[in-house]
Structure 1
Amino acid sequence: MKLVWSPETASKAYIDTVKTCGLSNESGVAELVSAMAAGWNAKLVVETWSQGGPTATSVGLAVATHHTGGKHICVVPDESSKSEYVAAMRKHGQQPADVMVGPPEKAVEGLEGIDFLVVDCRRNDFARILSVARLGHRGAVLMCKNASSRAASDFRWRSVIGGKSRIVRSVFLPVGKGLDIAHVGARGGGGGGLGGGKGQSRWIKHIDQQSGEEFVIRK
């Protein structure tokens, strides 16, 4: 089994998110994130959030899980953030996600089978959160928002994921304040890690000379 794309579900989530959010500071980001989570039929969707942050993306993820029948979990650092998050979601007419309070790195590490994970690059611990995530056997989609403002300009998906998962593709999109996205392959999906695999298939790393983004291509 692996994540399978459904354009119909993605379209429905996109439209519903537009209707729910309207125009906002995260206009474009929320709709895209919602469409991707729904289109990949994500069953366990996890995000990190802290006090003062916008919630449009959270609304989009909530809409997505309505379409997939999945579970939406938001990780916040403290009770104050939780109260603000729940109030903001209710203001949008959304039932708040399951909220976990505590250090995001530890909270995410305690979850198993994550299909879709969204972190904020403005947090200093975003790379550590990604590195400890226990991804689903069908593969996963990992997303960093506010990627254009991140301090770690040398960030690379391979350095975060390591050899535990196979990166099918990564891309940077100039949407909102930047979205950095990686699609991680299903476990045992052939080809093994980034260094190559069994049989005739092999994986070749390519770095875009203009953007500096890293791609992995199957030959």
Structure 2
Amino acid sequence: MKLVWSPETASKAYIDTVKSIKNFKEHSGVAELLSAMAAGWNAKLIVESWLNGDPIVTSIGLAIAAGHACGRHVCIVPDERSKQEYVKAMREYSDVSSPTPMEVVVGEAEAAMAGLVGVDFLVVDCKRGDFARVLRFAKLGQRGAVLACKNACQRNVSGFRWHGVLERGTRVVRTVLLPVGKGLDIAHIGSTMDIAHIGSSTGGSSGSWKKSPSRWIKHIDARSGEEHVFRG
């Protein structure tokens, strides 16, 4: 079973998020887009990282998405102070958030992600120093997953590559860097069932395997504007 896209659910979450954050002065379209994506992919476990002082609009959008997808929305924060501020901010807008219970996990990346098994949708903020570790220790769902890095243009990781930060063996199907907010880097992770199928097809003389046609992939560097084309 794989993540299946639902345009109708995505549209509902998008519209509800737009209505809910219309009074916020500072938002750049990130919250609406991520809300639509999380709901559209019917994510059952939505996880985000948050820092004290960060805007709350993305969290509202993800909470709304969880409601439409009948899933869980979990926020991981580095310390108790961040937790208190997050809970306070979300309660102020509880009327627009998902009816699902608020879940907040406190701790460093490895410990915080340890109990979150089967993540379908993960949002990290590149301003958080351990964002790459959050990605690495994520226990992704068997249906596949969608990973998103906010503020991608501000990350301090030189030469960032998805394959370099994810757990070994993770199959990255496609990636895209969008000029939304201060950069939104998104990766679509394949399901483990696909990996098992590929492995069984390539192993042993009885199996047959046909190489899928290669594709030309275009990537535009958000900082320099340079266009890179490579074969995937």
TM-score above 0.5, yes or no: yes
Question: Is the CA contact (8 Å cut-off) linking 1:51 and 1:85 kept in structure 2?
Answer: yes
Q: Whose radius of gyration is greater, 1 or 2?
A: 2
Query: Taking structure 1 as reference, are residues 162 and 103 closer, same or farther at Cα in structure 2, changes over 3 Å only?
Result: closer
Deviation digits for residues 50-69 of structure 1 (CA, Å, limit 9, x no counterpart): 11111100000000000010
1:18-39, CA deviations, whole angstroms, 9 ceiling, x for partnerless residues? 0101144223000000000000
Distance 1:203 1:135, change over 3 A: farther
By how many angstroms is 1:161 displaced?
Answer: 2.2
Identity between Structure 1 and Structure 2 (%): 57
State the aligned residue count: 214
TM (norm. structure 2) is 0.84
Task: Kindly state the Cα deviation for residue 106 of structure 1 after the two structures are TM-superposed.
Answer: 1.8
| TM alignment of 1:1-219, pairs within 5 A | 1-22=1-22, 23-93=24-94, 94=97, 97-189=102-194, 192=198, 198=202, 199-202=209-212, 204=214, 208=218, 210-211=220-221, 217=232
Distance in 1 of aligned mates of 2:220 and 2:77:
36
Runs of 5+ consecutive residues of structure 1 not aligned to the other structure: none
Of the structure 1 ranges 94-103 and 50-59, higher mean CA displacement relative to structure 2 is found in: 94-103
1:151 positional shift: 1.1
Query: What amino acid maps onto 2:140 in structure 1?
Result: L
How far is 1:187 from its partner?
0.7
SS of 1:45 mapped into structure 2 = strand
Q: Structure 2: which 5+ residue stretches go unaligned?
A: 203-208, 222-226
What CA distance in whole angstroms lies between the structure 2 residues aligned with 1:171 and 1:48?
Answer: 20
Q: Which residue of 1 aligns with 2:224?
A: none
